[in-house]
């Protein structure tokens, strides 16, 4: 077995400890994929990876500000063309809804209920690819946040410096993500009009400087890539 992907993710989380990436697996994996592209020409080991069996994460949240749905009615969940129509009652709390969803989906999938009664989270597992869609059929005021988990292993055991390089490039990708909205706006309206937006200009300067400094750090690290023992 190669290096666990979680080991790479954890190294990235240490570098961005002031940011909460909870339930943002898709975004973190996007940073990881970009970082692999930045890193593969430098590392001696192959940077291919294998994901474990596919998982989907469902987080229940209310469309309204109160802690109950607007009215009783049905919701519809579609997983790989399997359709589940689930009746929700007006007095159901999140944990009640989570248990109803778990009961329905457990007929065909492995479903784990984690979290607590106020913020229950459902993790759905299957050997094959999972595609989940959700419809609030009767407009009861309920929604599901749907994301995936990306646990797995690298195809080879990576050295410490290789993990460090990937995590640095994940941080680089994160900075690019922060910079993207201002960069797009600047390109769209032109530099002259962009300069009239002091908050966006300052944001652009800060993120550009952070990215430039990090890119320099990465280049310095690559020069000394094997100057210490792994």
Residue bearing the bigger pLDDT, 213 or 198:
213
Give the DSSP letter string of 167-183.
HHHHHHHHHHHHHHHHH
Q: Residue 133 phi/psi, 5° resolution?
A: -130, 155
Q: 230 falls in which pLDDT band (50, 70, 90)?
A: very low
Q: What is the pLDDT of residue 74?
A: 96
Give pLDDT tens digits for 34-73.
999 999 999 999 999 988 757 788 888 765 555 788 899 9
| Residues 74-94, mean pLDDT to the nearest whole number | 93
Q: Where are the domains of the chain?
A: 5-51+153-223, 55-150
Q: What is the pLDDT of residue 145?
A: 83
- Using a 10 angstrom Cβ sphere, with 0-12 exposed, 13-18 middle and 19 or more buried, the burial of residue 189 is middle
Q: What whole-number distance in Å separates Cα of residue 193 and Cα of residue 189?
A: 6
Q: What whole-number distance in Å separates Cα of residue 209 and Cα of residue 203?
A: 10
Q: What is the pLDDT of residue 63?
A: 58
CA dihedral 165, 167, 172, 173 (to 10 degrees): 120
Give pLDDT tens digits for 97-115.
999 999 999 999 989 898 7
Enter the CATH code of domain 55-150: 2.60.40
Number of C-beta neighbours around residue 209 at 10 A? 11
Do residues 175 and 204 make contact, with C-beta atoms less than 8 angstroms apart?
Answer: no
Number of H helices, E strands in the chain: 6, 9
Give pLDDT tens digits for 166-200.
999 999 999 999 888 777 776 766 777 667 777 77
Q: 126 falls in which pLDDT band (50, 70, 90)?
A: confident
Residue bearing the bigger pLDDT, 126 or 2:
2
Sequence-distant (≥ 6) Cβ neighbours of residue 139 within 8 angstroms: 70, 73
Q: What whole-number distance in Å separates Cα of residue 228 and Cα of residue 205?
A: 35
- Nearest one of 97, 108, 110 to 144, comparing CA atoms: 97
Q: What whole-number distance in Å separates Cα of residue 62 and Cα of residue 144?
A: 9
CA distance to 28, 165, 174, per residue, from 9 (Å): 8, 12, 13
Q: What whole-number distance in Å separates Cα of residue 26 and Cα of residue 184?
A: 22
Residue 202 has pLDDT above 60, yes or no: yes
| Residues 132-150, mean pLDDT to the nearest whole number | 87
Q: What whole-number distance in Å separates Cα of residue 119 and Cα of residue 67?
A: 11
């Amino acid at each position: 077995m190669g290096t666990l992907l979680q080991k790479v993710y954890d190294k990235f989380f240490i570098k961005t400890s002031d940011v909460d990436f909870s339930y943002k697996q898709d975004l973190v994996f996007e940073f990881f994929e970009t970082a692999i592209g930045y890193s593969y020409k430098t590392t001696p080991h192959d940077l291919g990876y294998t994901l474990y069996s596919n998982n989907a994460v469902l987080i229940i949240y209310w469309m309204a500000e109160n802690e109950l749905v607007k009215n009783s009615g049905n919701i519809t969940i579609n997983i790989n063309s399997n359709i589940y129509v689930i009746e929700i009652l007006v007095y159901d709390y999140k944990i009640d809804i989570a248990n109803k969803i778990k009961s329905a989906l457990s007929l065909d999938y492995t479903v784990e209920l984690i979290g607590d009664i106020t913020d229950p989270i459902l993790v759905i597992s299957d050997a094959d690819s999972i595609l989940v869609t959700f419809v609030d059929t009767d407009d009861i005021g309920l929604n599901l946040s749907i994301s995936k988990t990306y646990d797995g292993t690298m195809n080879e055991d990576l050295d410490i410096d290789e993990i460090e390089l990937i995590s640095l490039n994940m941080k680089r990708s994160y900075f690019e993500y922060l910079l993207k909205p201002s960069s797009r706006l600047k390109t769209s309206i032109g530099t002259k009009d962009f300069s009239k937006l002091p908050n966006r200009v300052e944001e652009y300067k800060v993120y550009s400087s952070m990215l430039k400094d990090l890119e320099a750090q990465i280049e310095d690290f690559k020069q000394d890539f094997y100057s210490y023992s792994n």
